[in-house]
Amino acid sequence: MITSVYPVSNGDVYLGAPKSSGNLNCELVEGAYLTLERGHSNFTQTYSLILTAISTEKRMNIRIVPGSTDCRISYVMMSID
């Protein structure tokens, strides 16, 4: 479960990672955040999907770029059922 949503001044969005994130194979920003980069090819759709999943309390899976220094989000999937 995402713990917070934090739009930053450069246009990126930080998502608070749950305490139970385990081994993500990336480095969380400030030890706490995943990053959805403004330059992501599907930024608008991905951000919309994240906000929809949070507001409707649906489960989502977030794939990060392995080894990224900011736990950069690659894609997001939301469960409908």
Residue 20 has pLDDT above 90, yes or no: no
Residue 21 has pLDDT above 70, yes or no: no
Whether the CB-CB separation of 31 and 22 falls below 8 Å is answered with: no
31-75 pLDDT per residue, tens: 999 999 999 999 999 999 999 999 999 999 999 999 999 999 999
| Number of domains within the chain | 1
Give me the phi and psi of 64, to 5 degrees please.
Answer: -105, 165
Positive or negative, the Cα torsion across 57, 59, 65, 66?
A: positive
**pLDDT value for 81:** 76
Q: Which domain holds residue 43?
A: 5-78
